């Protein structure tokens, strides 16, 4: 089984997101590493990122084809038989077992509940499970505009 390994982080110099491999320096600095094909082979370049913003790609995409990363906030529409719920948010994190898991909250709540402690990102987005969710990435915990996006998506 082959799985795409990718990380992202916010650049330290300008706050833009960059994607690639991750490298840690002895002094604590963290870099996103990429290669570019040039005439004589490949050139490696690194960009220093804010360490706490580094997150790994989960291997899953949302309903729009957007990659889901660690620390993303997902808006979910639950499909539970005849009932649907339009106001569930999920936060992606790495559990103690190393699996990508989700905490949930409903719009207009302040706290995240890990009542979904046994819910992995895979079971959240897989149509093979009994209760799955149509999720879309609406931001991540490192962006300050999540509250506004929550309110705008509450229709």
73 shares its domain with 110: yes
At residue 155, the pLDDT reads: 37
Q: Are 22 and 29 in contact (CB under 8 A)?
A: no
41 shares its domain with 16: yes
Q: How many domains are there within the chain?
A: 2
The 10s digit of each residue's pLDDT in 77-123 is 665 555 555 567 888 888 888 888 888 776 666 666 665 445 667 66
Tell me the two tokens of residue 77.
């529409």
73 shares its domain with 145: yes
Task: State which residues form the domain around 21.
Answer: 7-52
pTM above threshold 0.85: no
Provide the Cα torsion 151, 7, 16, 106; round to 10°: 10
The 10s digit of each residue's pLDDT in 33-48 is 998 888 888 889 899 9
Residue 2 lies in a domain: no
3-state secondary structure of 16: coil
Q: How far is CA 6 from CA 9, 45, 55, 86, 148, in A?
A: 10, 15, 9, 30, 28
100 shares its domain with 26: no
117 shares its domain with 41: no
134 or 123: which leads in pLDDT: 134
């Amino acid at each position: 089984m082959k799985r795409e390994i990718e990380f992202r982080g916010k650049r330290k110099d300008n706050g833009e997101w960059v994607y690639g491999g991750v490298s840690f320096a002895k002094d604590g600095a963290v870099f996103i590493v990429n290669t570019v094909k040039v005439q004589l082979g490949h050139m490696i370049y690194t960009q220093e990122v804010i360490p706490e913003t580094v997150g790994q790609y989960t291997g899953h995409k949302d309903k729009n084809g957007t990659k889901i990363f660690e620390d993303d906030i997902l808006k979910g529409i639950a499909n539970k038989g005849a009932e649907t719920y339009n106001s569930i948010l999920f936060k992606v994190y790495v559990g103690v077992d190393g699996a990508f898991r989700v905490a949930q909250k409903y719009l207009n709540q302040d706290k995240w509940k890990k009542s979904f402690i046994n819910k992995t990102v895979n079971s959240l987005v897989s149509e093979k499970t009994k209760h799955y969710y149509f999720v879309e990435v609406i931001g991540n915990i490192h962006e300050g505009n999540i509250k506004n996006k929550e309110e705008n998506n509450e229709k």
